[in-house]
Structure 1
C-alpha cells in the first residue's frame, strides 16, 4: 500500500512537485508527483479523475511503486503544479466502499460468510460471498444490521500498522502485506486491511440497499448501492412504476396481479391464434392438393420457414406421393423449404442443394425434408425454376 495518496481523503485540491513526465510503453503520457490525493485503481475501486494544471487526468495507476497520472499531453510546467479531483465522483466512491465494509462485516458477523471479491461499478457495486446459497431473510437481516451501524454514525478510522501490531486487531480478512498495512476501523464492528477511500463516519454512507443477488460459479454475487445511488435508483424505478400504473390503468399495489392476468390472457390469445393459423394452413393445403399435382412448386412473399414447413408437412401427410418445393422472398433473402411424402420416390434434397449456389446460399436436411436460404440474387420464381429443373 502506497502512502502517497493518503494525504487526506477530503482534500479536493492540492499542490505538488513534478518528479517526471514520460511516455509509457504504450505511448501514453503520465506524470509522477512527489505527493498526490489522486487514488489509483486498486482493491476493487476505480481511480479518481480530475485535473493537473487544468489538464484532464484520465487515469491513475500505481506502477513499480510510483503513482502515474495519465494525461493526453505533457504539462507546460515541470515544477510545482496545482491539482484538483472530481469531488462528486470521489465522495460517491467513498460511500460505496465504506458501504461494502459494512455489508461484508454484517454477513460475516451474522452468518460467518466471507467476502471473496468486491467491485465498485459506475452505477452498481457487487460483492461475492463464499457460499452456494443465500436466503432473502439473510439478506434482509444483514442489510438491517449495516443500516443500523450507519444510523449510529460510528467513526471510520484509519491506522498504519506493521505485521507485529496486527495481532491486536480482529481482522475480518487476513492480509498478505507485512509492512505499511493500512487498517480501516469501524470500532466494535469491522477491522479490515484496505487501501480504499472512505468517509469519516458511517453516517456519511447514508443508506445501503441490496438490489438483487445471483449464483456466480460457487459464490453468491450481491448487487448493491449506497448513499446518493440509492436515491438515483429510487428515481429510476419510480419513473418506471408510474409509467406502468398509467399503461395498465391500475394502482401500484395491484400491478403484479393485473400484469399476471394480462399475461394469462395473452397466452390464451396466442394459443387461439396458432389454432386459427393451423386451420388456415389446412385450407391452403387442401386448395393446393386440389390441383392433383405430384410435384407442387410455389413462391411467396414474407412467409417464415416455420410456416412453410408446417404447410409442407400437412400436404405430404395428406398426400404421401406428393413432393413440395416452396420459395419465399423475405426482404433481401430467399428461403426455400422442400418435403416429400412417404410414398414419393423423389429426392428433394439434391435439387435444392444444387440450386443454392445461385443465391450464395446454404441449406441442410434430409432427402425427405430440407430447408435453406441465401441472398435474393434472382427472383423467387426464377430460383424455383432452377430447383424444379433439377427434379
Structure 2
C-alpha cells in the first residue's frame, strides 16, 4: 500500500519514491504505483493533483481497489523524484476548506444543510437541501463565512475509529466505518473528509458567493475562494471597463444603459419584422401577378437564394390568403440546404403533404404538414430547379 504523504504534510511539494508497479489499465492507460506519494487522488469532491515524476507529466491520479495509480505520459525509471503542481494543490486546499466554512455558515445561520459539493476548474458549488434562498440570507452567510476566514481559526485533522466518531458533533454522517478522517475547525465545523486543507482559515483568503439557482428539489450555490476571488474580480472588472467604454457611461449607470439598449434592440427588431412582412406582402402580390397555368391550375413558383424557411413559410401563407385558388411551390437554397414549402388554397382539394413526401427522399429530407400546407428540407444534392419540376409533376398530375 502506498504511503500517503499528503496526509502527513499537505504542504509537501517534492518527494523521492520507488516504483513498485508500472502497467496499463483496461483503457490501455499507462500508470505507476509508488511506495509513497504526495499526489492526491480524485475523491470526496476534490480533483487530483498534477505534477511530474522526474521529467514525466502526471496527467491523472486515481485510487482503484486500494491502489493509488499515477497515470503518466510515458514509462518512468524505478526511482523517481515527484514534484507537485503547488498552485493547483493550494487552490484545491483553499476551495475545499472554503466549502467547509460556507456549509457550516449556512447551517449555523439558517439550518440549511449541504447535500453535495463539487470543486470545479473555475467555480465551486454546493447543493443545499432547500428550495429557495433570498439575497439577504446569502449576504448574511457570506459575511459570517468571511469573518471565520479573517479570525484565523486553526484547521485540524484527526483519525478516529467508528466508536470514537460518536463523540463528535458531525455536520454530516460519515460514509465509512474504518479509518475515519475528521477535519475540524474548533467551535465552527467538524466533518468527515479525506481532502487536503490549509492549516488555518486565514489561508482560505476570502469566500465569494457568485449566484444561486434551483436544481431539481434543491438549491445550488456557486462560489469561489482564495485566489479565485481575485480572478473573478479581474474578469468582471475587465467586462465592466469594456462596457463603460463601449456604452460611454459611468459604472453606476451600466444597468440602466444596458436596459435601454435592450429595449431599443427589441424595438428595432420589431420594426424590421414589420418591414419584412410588408416586403413579403408586396412580393406575394408580384408573384400572384406572374402566376402561370399548369394543367388548368394557377401556380405560383419561386426559387430563393436569400430567404430561409421562416420567410418562405410567411410568403406562402400570404399568397394563399390573397388568393385561395392558387397552388404555391417555394424553394429556398441557402448554405447547401434546400427548404421547401408547398401549399394550396381552401378552394382546392390537392394533398400537398403527400406531394412533399414524394419529393423529400430525393434530397435526404424530412418534413411534413397538412393537406393544405406542408414544409420540409434536406441537402442540396439535386438542383432547386429539378426539385421544383418534380413537385409540380407529383402535385398536379
TM-score where L is the length of structure 1: 0.93
The answer on whether the counterparts of 1:150 and 1:203 sit within 8 Å (CA) in structure 2 is: yes
Equivalent position of 2:321 in the other structure: 317
Shift of 1:146: 0.7
Match of 2:237 in 1: 238
2:45 maps to 44
Structure-1 separation of matches of 2:291 and 2:17: 93
What are the within-5 Å matches in structure 2 for residues 1-391 of structure 1? Answer: 4-5=4-5, 6-77=7-78, 80-291=79-290, 293=292, 294-390=298-394, 391=396
Distance 1:320 1:177 in 2: 75
- Residues in 1 aligned to 2:65 and 2:353: alpha-carbon distance in whole angstroms: 65
Q: 1:291 to 1:22 in 2, by over 3 A?
A: closer
Cα distance, 1:360 vs structure 2: 3.2
Quote the Cα distance in structure 2 between the aligned partners of 1:345 and 1:152.
83
Range moving further from structure 2, 51-60 or 81-90: 51-60
- Tell me the matched-pair count: 389
Shift of the alpha carbon at 1:46? 0.7
Give structure 2 stretches of 5+ with no counterpart.
Answer: 293-297
2: distance between equivalents of 1:361 and 1:29?
A: 46
Question: In structure 1, how many angstroms separate the alpha carbons of the residues matched to 2:66 and 2:322?
Answer: 80
- Measure how far apart 1:139 and its partner are: 1.3
1:94 is displaced (CA, Å) by 0.5
Residues 2, 37 of structure 2: 8 Å contact kept = no
Q: State whether residues 3 and 35 of structure 2, in contact with CA within 8 Å, keep that contact through their aligned partners in structure 1.
A: no
Residues 385/143 of structure 1: CA separation in 2 closer, same or farther (3 Å cut)? same
Matched-pair contact (CA < 8 Å) for 1:338–1:369: yes
Q: CA RMSD of the aligned region, Å?
A: 2.0
How far, CA to CA, are the matches of 2:322 and 2:26 in structure 1?
73
- Secondary structure of 2:315 counterpart: helix
The answer to whether the 8 A contact 1:7-1:37 is kept is no
Q: Which range moved further: 64-73 or 252-261?
A: 64-73
Tell me which moved more, 82-91 or 324-333.
324-333
Unpaired stretches in structure 1, ≥5 consecutive residues: none
User: TM-score, normalized by length of structure 2?
Assistant: 0.92
Within 2, Cα distance between the matches of 1:25 and 1:311? 59
Distance across 2 between alignment mates of 1:88 and 1:281 = 61
How far off its partner does 1:87 sit? 0.8
